[in-house]
Chain A
Amino acid sequence: MERCLIFEGVKVADFSTSVVGPAAARVLADYGATVVKVESQTHADALRVTAPYMGRKPGVNRSGFFNNYNAGKYSLSLNMRLPRALEIAKRLVQWSDVVIETFRPGVMKKWGLHYEELLKIKPDIIMISSTMLGQSGPYSVYKGFGQHGAALAGWGTTLAYPDDDAVAPFSAYTDYIGTRYVAIAVVAALEYRRRTGKGQYIDSSQVESSIDFLATAVLDYRANKRLPQRQANRDPYAAPHGAYRCRGEDRWCVIAVSTDEEWRKFCGVIGHPLWTSDPKFTTLSARKKHEYELDRLVEIWTVKHTPEEIVTVMQKAGIAAAVVANAKELAEDPQLLHRKHYEVLEHSEIGPHSYENFAFRLSKTPGAPRKAAPCLGEHNAQVCTEILGLSDEEFVQLLTEGVFE
C-alpha cells in the first residue's frame, strides 16, 4: 500500500528545544507535517551540544540525543536579536498552523511573538508553550534540567533500596510523559480547529502533566495520609517479585509470581527444591512475610542460569519474566526489530545512524521517521525561498545582514 501521510499539509513552526517540544513535534513530522525548527547559531538547542556524539567527536550536527527528536524537520537558524530575523519569524508564523515553544515565560513576549501578537498575524493559530512549571504561578520562571523536573513532580523518592538513600530515577523521566501530552494537545487542537475554525493557546506544565502518573499515590495520601514506601522491586500482590542476579557479569532477570497457581508452576520450573514446600512459602501472604528469605533462595537458583535461559523456561510455564535488557541487547531484540522500532537514516554530515520510532503502529496509514535530523541552519535558503516565498536576492541580502547567524 502506498504510504498515506496523514498530517500532510499541516505546518509547524517549532521554536522548541531539549526533549518535550521537539519530540512532540516529531510525531507530526513522522506522519507528514512540514516542521520548521527555528534555532540560532549562537544559542543552538542544548541537545546539539550534549553527548553522545557520532564517533565521540563533539559538533552541533553530531549528537544522537538531538537527532533522535528532530528527524524529518527543516532547520532555520535565526539571530533573534535582529529585527529582520523577527520579521522572518513572523512570516513563518503566518505560514504555520501550529507554533510550539519552550522558552522561559516572557521570552516570546520580548520578541513580540507571544500569543496575542501571533493572533494578529494568524487569527486561527494554535500555539503551545511547554515549560517545566507552566506560564503562571510563583515558580513559573524556574528553568532546570530533566532531573529537576522529575524531582519537582514527585519522582525523586520513588526509586530506592529499602536500606539505602533514595537514588532518583534515571534521566529526564518526566520529559517523556510531558512529550505525549504536548503531542496529544496539538493533535486535539488541530481537530478542534478543523471542527470549529478556532485556534487556541495551550499552557503546558511538564510537572502538571506528569503528576497524573502518580495519581494513585496522591489519592492514597489524600485519603489515608500514607506516603509511598521504599520497596525497591517489591509488589504488594506478588512474591517472588524482583530482579534476580543471573549467571554472567552484571546479568539480571525479573520474575513476577502473583497467584498461587503461578507459584506452583514456578516451583515446577526450578525443580521443586525442598524449601518450596515449606509452609513459609505456600501462600502469597506467607511469601510476602518471608520475602527476604524467599528472594535469597530464588537467587541461589537464578545465579546458575543465564537470564535468557530463565526467561525461556518461565515464559513457557506461563510466568511473567524478562531479561533486564541493556541497549546492546535491545538493538538486537527480535520483537523490536519485528516492530521496526529502529530506522536507519542517512544524515548529511555524520552518515547513516539509527532513529527510534514511537510505540504505536497505525494499520492503514503508518508513520515513521522519514528523514534524518537537519544540520543547524541546513534549510535556511529552502525555507526562505520555497516556504516563505522570498526572492533569491532578498535571501542573499538577509544573509549578508547576518540574519541567519
Chain B
Amino acid sequence: MNQLPTTDPSFLSPYRVLDLTDEQGYMCAKILGGLGAEVIKIEPPGGDEGRRVGPFIDDQPDPNRSLFWMALNVNKKSITLDLKTDEGQKIFRRLVESADFVIESFHPGDLDKLGLGYADLGSINPAIVMTSITPYGQDGPYKDFHASDIVCWAGSGYMWLCGIMGRAPLRISIPQAYLHGGAEAALGSMVAFWHRQKTGEGQHVDVSITESAMWSCLTAHAAWDMNREILQRQGVFRAYGAYKIRFMYPCKDGYVIFLLLGGHIGARGQKALAQWMDREGMSDEFLRNFEWDSFDASTYNDEMARKLEPFFERFFVTKKKDELFKAALKMQFLLAPVNTIQDLCEDAHLAARDFWVDIDHPEINARLTYPGAPFKSNRVSWSLDRRAPLVGEHNLTIYGSELGFSESEIRTLLRKRVI
C-alpha cells in the first residue's frame, strides 16, 4: 500500500483507477476521479464505442465530439490497449501491479477467459479493489441475459410505477439505469477500499445495475411485503391506499409540483397561498373558510379533490413558475418549479453556489460548462478540471515514461494494434 503525505489535496489523490468499462460503468470511475483518484480509461485500439454515441457538438459525429462520452469521461486519462492479445494482457497485468482499483463492465466471465478476472488480478496485486458492473450481477439465473437501459428499468420495478394506468409504463427519456449502477459501484468500491486501507486486503465488488435501479421504487416492496398491496403507476398523482392527491399542475410557462398539506407542516403556507389567491380574486367562501389547521391530507378523498384542486389549477395557470416558486419560498407552501434543462442552466441559486464548471476543449475550439461537484467540502475540492481525453492521449506518458517502453517499441505496439 502506498505511504502518503498528510497534506494531500484530495480524498483519493494518491490512488489509481484502471477503468475498463463501457457505458454501463463510466459513472463509477467518473466519481472516483471526482474524489481525486487518477483514472486511466483503457480503450480498445480505435477508441471506446461510447465515443460514437450522440449527441455530438454541433451535431458533427466524431469520436472526439460525443457529448455523451465527454459527460461521463471528463477528468480521465486515456490509453489504448487490446486486452484480447497476449501482449495486451501482459501490459495490463503490469498496470495492475501498481493500481488501486480496477473497474470493469464486461459480460460476466469474459475477463476470466482472458486471464484477467479477479482470481488473476488479486494474485498479482492482493490489495486491488476490483469492481464489476453488469445488468444483473456476476452470477445467478439472469447473469447471461441481454440488457439495455429500458430492460434494466423494467426489471427494477420502477418502470411499472411510471406513467398512467391504461397506457404503457414509461422510462425516463434520458438513459439513467447505468448511472445508478455506476454510482452504486462507486459506493461499493469505496466501502471495499476502506477495508483495504485498514488491512491491505482487496476484494471483488459485484454490482447489479437492475438492483441499483430498484431503490427508486420507494415503498413498492414494503407495501407488498406488509400488506400485499401492489403500487400502481399514478401519473401526476401521489397515492397510498385510498388517498390520492394531485401533485403536478400546469402553470403559465410550464409545470409546478404542489402538494396540499395541512396541520403543523402545511397549514401556515397553505393559508398564505389561499390569501394570495383571494387578493387576486381567485377564491370564494369555501376556500376562504377552509380549515387548514385541521386539514389532514391522509383523509383526502375524491370529493375533496373535486372541490379543492380546481382552485389551484385555475390560479397556477395565471402565474409563471418562477413567480410561484419565489412566493412559495416566502410563504412556505409546498411548491417547486418543474425545471427544464434550460432553467437549470440559468438558475440563480446554482450560479450563486458556483455549481457550474467551465472546461476548455482547445482541439475543437470549445468551452463547455459542466455540472460541478455533487457535494462541497470545507477541506477538499471535487476534482473536475480537464476535458475527457482524446483516444490514446496518454499512451506516451504511461507506456513510455512509466512502463519504460522505448519510442520504437511503442511504434511496434501501435503497428501490431496492441495499443
Contact = CB atoms under 8 A, between A and B. Distances in A.
A142 B349 CA distance: 11
Interface in A227-259: 227-238, 241-245, 250, 252-254, 256, 258
Contacts of A159: 162-163, 170-173
Interface stretch (A92-100, A130-138, A375-383): A130-138
A283 interface: no
B318 interface: no
B225 A64 contact: yes
Nearest to B201: A364
Given A64-B219, A156-B339, A180 B184 contact: yes
A373 to B, nearest CB: 11
A347 to B, nearest CB: 11
B220 A327 contact: yes
A339 interface: yes
B223 A327 contact: yes
B362 interface: no
Contacts of B168: 232-233, 242-245, 252
Contact of B218 (A65, A235, A254): A65
Given A167-B163, A168-B257, A158 B174 contact: yes
B191 A31 contact: yes
Given A218-B370, A327-B231, A335-B137, A360 B185 contact: yes
A88 interface: no
A50 B297 CA distance: 11
Interface stretch (B38-46, B75-83, B235-243, B401-409): B235-243
A227 B341 contact: yes
A200 B380 contact: yes
Nearest to B338: A156
Given A216-B55, A356-B221, A139 B214 contact: no
Contacts, number: 494
26 contacts: A7-B194, A63-B222, A64-B221, A147-B247, A147-B259, A153-B344, A159-B172, A179-B215, A185-B375, A200-B380, A208-B373, A209-B375, A215-B370, A230-B173, A235-B149, A252-B169, A256-B150, A320-B151, A322-B147, A327-B157, A327-B223, A335-B137, A335-B210, A359-B215, A360-B206, A361-B188
B398 interface: no
B6 A27 contact: no
B197 interface: yes
A215 B72 contact: yes
B244 to A, nearest CB: 12
Interface string B169-189: 111111110011101111110
A166 B218 contact: no
A400 interface: no
A155 B157 CA distance: 18
B342 interface: yes
Contacts of B376: 134, 202-204
Contact of B225 (A223, A242, A319, A354): A354
A141 B371 CA distance: 22
Interface stretch (A52-60, A106-114, A390-398): A52-60
Contact of A224 (B55, B184, B371): B55
Contact of B154 (A55, A176, A227, A253): A253
Contacts of B179: 212-213
Contact of A167 (B59, B162, B192): B162
A38 interface: no
B194 A187 contact: yes
A170 B162 contact: yes
Contacts of A226: 55
Nearest to A250: B165
Describe B's contact surface by its main secondary structure.
Answer: mixed
A192 interface: yes
Contacts of A55: 226-227
- Chain A's interface size range is 35 or more
A138 B349 contact: yes
A52 B141 contact: no
Contacts of B136: 335
Which 4 residue pairs spanning A and B have beta carbons closest together?
A64-B222, A360-B188, A156-B338, A338-B140
- Chain B's interface size range is 35 or more
A252 B116 CA distance: 39
B188 A214 contact: no
A174 to B, nearest CB: 9
Interface string B64-87: 000110111000000000000000
Contacts of A4: 195
A323 B345 CA distance: 37
B337 interface: yes
Contact of B368 (A170, A222, A338): A222
Contacts of A353: 222, 225-226
Contacts of A41: none
Interface string B188-230: 1011111101100101111111111011111111111111111
A370 to B, nearest CB: 15
Contacts of A145: 259, 334
A367 interface: yes
Contact of A220 (B55, B162, B184, B370): B55
Contacts of B226: 52-55, 64, 353
A187 B223 CA distance: 31
B374 interface: yes
Nearest to B53: A237
A203 to B, nearest CB: 5
Nearest to A321: B151
B54 interface: yes
B353 interface: yes
B148 A258 contact: yes
